[in-house]
A and B are shown apart, each in its own frame.
Chain A
Amino acid sequence: MTTNGGISPQDAKYALETRDMHVYYGSFRAVKHINLNVERQKITALIGPSGCGKSTVLRSFNRMNELVPSARVEGKVFFHGKNLYDSNVDPVEVRRRIGMVFQKPNPFPKSIYDNIAFGPRINGWQGTKADMDNLVEQSLRASVLWDEVKDKLKESGLSLSGGQQQRLCIARALAIEPEVILMDEPCSALDPISTLKIEELMFELRRQYTIVIVTHNMQQASRASDNTAFFLMDNDRAGTLVEYGPTEQLFTNPQDKRTEDYISGRFG
């Protein structure tokens, strides 16, 4: 992964840095002037009202926006000092190193085992069957699902409950050992208990991974993140970054009036 065009790891403070980023869908500018530094091995929460461009920003971190034919990203996103949008960066490598968990659980219609083994396999996995068994177990343990599914690894991933499916998707993302994990409202379809489980899981994962999470849940953002970014739609309907800082500070002592209004539930 250290070819000329590739991204080489560096011990910087930030895992991801955007520089004056704009994202367009066709001629519509969905977000503008985003300057956001995501700290390594921290949990960064993106909050803001519906439609303000949180998912759009999140997807620009692993070039998933490219799957929308009309989408276009302007500006720069640095990952370990390398601009992800340079012409010599392969989006496949980006997604291999920056994993993603989606808002709606989307396991493959395959067995639980194969759901997790798929990522390593397509990324050129070299190990033995026993190694793979081990990797599957480790991933499921890491996502706190192992005890619930250890006896039915051959059953369909779709046979699980919604919360279990979401944890399966997290395990699947962990199995390819990414450096950053992006989560788009991973708990929006879950009950409070599953939500708590996933939050505990995120704290666990923070030791190794950098996590960016989109959430609509203020409590979740305040109790489960280190830094918080607040987005809002501007008059031209483009999303902007209003305030960004340590979660504690943003929730107790917001610098911007609009942030204060939002977190105290006065609008949005």
Chain B
Amino acid sequence: MSSVSQTGNTSSGMPTDEAMHRNIAQRRQRGRIWQGVLFASTTIGMLVLVILLATIINESFGLIAVQSTVDPATIADRPLEELSKEELIVILEDNLKRRVYQRLEREQPLAERDQAALLEIVRVEVVQEEVVGSWPLNETLFNRAAIEAEVAEEFPRAEIQFRSWINPDFLTNPMSSVPALAGVRTALLGTLWMIGITILFAFPIGVGAAIYLEEYATDTWYNRIIQTNIANLAGVPSIIYGMLGLAIFVRAFEPLTSGTLFGLTDPTTANGRTILSAGLTMGLLILPVIIIAAQESIRAVPNSLRQASYGLGATKWQTIWNHVLPGAMPGILTGTILSVSRAIGETAPLIVVGASTFIVTDPDGPFSKFTALPIQIYNWTARPQDQFRDIAAAAIIVLLIVLLTLNAIAVLLRDYIRKRRSI
């Protein structure tokens, strides 16, 4: 029931007085419901993220039970830690089966390893310190008594230790078939090399194409087709890019990607399956996203700036270089950050392009064989032993740290450009 005020005009259809108040209250109510829905979405997103992180951290730290089959006192007269590199090699020669010794030698010659690495091998292979059980962080913290009871019953000679699977050795050790010895050095370097090539390839080409499409291309039917295709390419599944990379970079451009063209043939490189191929494939994968992001931010540069520049007798290129690009750069960098983050985590294209799953030599250039962090993680999670799952979790943390570091660098760069432009 709306009472009509003296000034109120009922014939116009606009609610007045009480009806108006009710209407306003209703509209506010609707707004509050939406606010609740939006808050819920944010909370769900955050919750998933927290659970993800908690799971990874849970797996990466925890108790392990170590048991040695051979008493260290029977193979050396001093504690193992005090032995020199040479003494450790002698112990390995004396105690290891030929086959095992040769395998280790093949992975990386023993003489080239340092004392700490050799000590680990003696522990694992000779003393056969074996990790007979491992427990995640939550059980470690809340269920220690039960773990101790279990170990005491099943492995009376075993010793319980706290282990952080992510540790300096894990970062600096190469691959190994023994989880306790395995590290991510080769995979980490592989990822960094690959991302470097990806950025060098995709950033200039992507930004260049965006400038062309926005500033030079006229609105013709074929340019519109190109535009539509770029938008569609951004949605193509990554494995397709892997197949494309396999066909183009690994096969067709093999002389280039394997380095034979530059006389750099390395007999161990598996033909075109090099870091270069992987980096270029990833570059193709993120190219459409970079182009679209760059186009958006170029479009967002106000036209009045372009006019001001042209009005002073600037050429098209001077206008683009001095005003359009600097204005668009923060947005272009944001798009690049997002797409590079995606490339770091991609696994499927790398498998198709032929990343190695087991190599111990560091990649030393674009023409090396390589492995990358996601491949390593994928590989480890597929193994049956519990400890591989623990190091997979640790490798995920390394991957996340790499991601965060790269993002932080890009954000700092972006803010630096923003600040420089506002003076």
Closest to B327 in A: A109
CB of A197 to closest CB in B, whole Å: 21
Which listed segment binds A: B31-39, B71-79, B175-183, B303-311? B303-311
1/0 per residue, CB under 8 A from B, across A189-232: the answer is: 00000000000000000000000000000000000000000000
Residue B163 CB within 8 A of the other chain:
no
**B302 to chain A: which residues have CB within 8 Å?**
106
1/0 per residue, CB under 8 A from A, across B302-333: the answer is: 11111111111111001000110001000000
Distance in angstroms between the alpha carbons of A79 and B421 in the assembled complex: 37
Residue B422 CB within 8 A of the other chain:
yes
Q: Are A95 and B304 in contact (CB under 8 A)?
A: no
Residue B219 CB within 8 A of the other chain:
yes
Residue A160 CB within 8 A of the other chain:
no
Residue A111 CB within 8 A of the other chain:
yes
**A173 to chain B: which residues have CB within 8 Å?**
311-312
B322 contact from A122, A155, A156, Cβ within 8 A: A122
Known: A111-B423, A155-B423, A158-B422. A122 touches B313 (CB 8 A): yes
**B29 to chain A: which residues have CB within 8 Å?**
none
**B323 to chain A: which residues have CB within 8 Å?**
108
Q: Are B313 and A96 in contact (CB under 8 A)?
A: yes
Residue B218 CB within 8 A of the other chain:
yes
Q: Are B310 and A106 in contact (CB under 8 A)?
A: no
Closest to B315 in A: A92
Distance in angstroms between the alpha carbons of A107 and B327 in the assembled complex: 13
Residue A119 CB within 8 A of the other chain:
yes
1/0 per residue, CB under 8 A from B, across A148-185: the answer is: 00000011101000000000010011001000000000
Q: Are B421 and A102 in contact (CB under 8 A)?
A: no
Q: Are B312 and A109 in contact (CB under 8 A)?
A: no
Interface residues on A, range: 20 to 34
**B308 to chain A: which residues have CB within 8 Å?**
102, 106-108, 169, 172
B312 contact from A67, A122, A156, Cβ within 8 A: A122
1/0 per residue, CB under 8 A from A, across B283-313: the answer is: 0000000000000000000111111111111
Closest to A157 in B: B423
CB of A133 to closest CB in B, whole Å: 18
The interface residues of chain B, by DSSP majority, are classed as helix
A110 contact from B219, B310, B314, B421, Cβ within 8 A: B421
CB of B420 to closest CB in A, whole Å: 9
Residue A255 CB within 8 A of the other chain:
no
**B309 to chain A: which residues have CB within 8 Å?**
108, 118
Distance in angstroms between the alpha carbons of A118 and B305 in the assembled complex: 13
Closest to A91 in B: B310
Distance in angstroms between the alpha carbons of A97 and B313 in the assembled complex: 8
Residue A134 CB within 8 A of the other chain:
no
Q: Are B310 and A95 in contact (CB under 8 A)?
A: yes
Q: Are B307 and A67 in contact (CB under 8 A)?
A: yes
Closest to B218 in A: A69
**A169 to chain B: which residues have CB within 8 Å?**
308
**B303 to chain A: which residues have CB within 8 Å?**
67
**A107 to chain B: which residues have CB within 8 Å?**
308
CB of B422 to closest CB in A, whole Å: 6
CB under 8 Å from chain A, chain B span 119-146? none
Distance in angstroms between the alpha carbons of A245 and B161 in the assembled complex: 99
Distance in angstroms between the alpha carbons of A113 and B233 in the assembled complex: 44
Closest to B326 in A: A109
**B305 to chain A: which residues have CB within 8 Å?**
106, 108-109
1/0 per residue, CB under 8 A from B, across A255-266: the answer is: 000000000000
CB under 8 Å from chain A, chain B span 323-346? 323, 327
Distance in angstroms between the alpha carbons of A96 and B314 in the assembled complex: 8
Closest to B313 in A: A96
A119 contact from B306, B307, B312, B423, Cβ within 8 A: B312
Known: A92-B313, A111-B423, A158-B422. A64 touches B307 (CB 8 A): yes
What are 6 sample pairs from A and B whose C-beta atoms fall under 8 A apart?
A67-B310, A92-B313, A100-B311, A102-B308, A108-B305, A119-B313
Q: Which residues of A contact B (CB under 8 A)?
A: 62, 64, 67, 69, 92-93, 95-97, 99-100, 102, 104, 106-111, 118-119, 122-123, 154-156, 158, 169, 172-173, 176
Starting from the known contacts A156-B422, A169-B308, 4 additional A-B residue pairs (CB-CB under 8 Å) come to A67-B307, A118-B309, A122-B314, A122-B322
